[in-house]
Amino acid sequence: MSASAKDRERIVVGVDGSPASIAALRWAAEEAAQRVSRLEAVIAWRPKAAIEPPAGHPPPSGSTQQECREDAESVLDLALQAMHGAAPEIERRVMRGSAHRVLLDAAAGASMVVIGGCSGRLTVKLPWSTGQHVVQASPCPVVVVPSG
């Protein structure tokens, strides 16, 4: 592979602050270092107003869109801090939308997408899970990293 091809290679990792996503971030950082690839840490955010409360429950707090975005940025910052400085330079992307759509959009042109996996019986049975959407629709290979 030529140096210019390596410069273009990009690994995308989904971050949501969970232990599984931190494990995925660490794995992706190691892989990016071995491949001499760029690493993009991506987090999704959605306005709280878009979430309808169940009947009989109060609406979500009056957080503004800016506050929702800042919350996502804080989660991403904490995840990157959990790397303890061992990571290569990581590009941060805070994107508005559902987690699976944001990851699929970020995956366009990437060499792989890395996501954290959960364990348990229910994770396989939930057709609406972010991981299942990404695995089924990704334009590039997907690596699912277990949290443990």
Mean pLDDT confidence for 58-87:
78
pLDDT in tens, 11-53: 999 999 888 899 999 999 999 989 889 999 999 998 864 545 4
Q: Please state the pTM of the whole predicted model.
A: 0.80
User: When comparing pLDDT for 51 and 67, which is higher?
Assistant: 67
The pLDDT of residue 61: 56
Residue 70 has pLDDT above 80, yes or no: yes
Residue 123 has pLDDT above 50, yes or no: no
Residue 140 has pLDDT above 50, yes or no: yes
Closest CA to 114 of 85, 97, 90: 90
Q: Is residue 22 helix, strand or coil?
A: helix
Please state the domain extents for the chain: 3-52+62-146
> How far is it, in rounded angstroms, from Cα 15 to Cα 11?
13
User: When comparing pLDDT for 5 and 145, which is higher?
Assistant: 145
The pLDDT of residue 89: 80
Class of domain 3-52+62-146: alpha beta
pLDDT in tens, 111-122: 999 999 865 444
Residue 62 has pLDDT above 60, yes or no: no
User: When comparing pLDDT for 70 and 4, which is higher?
Assistant: 70
Tell me the CA distances in angstroms from 35 to 5, 104, 131, one per residue in order: 11, 22, 24
The pLDDT of residue 6: 45
The pLDDT of residue 94: 96
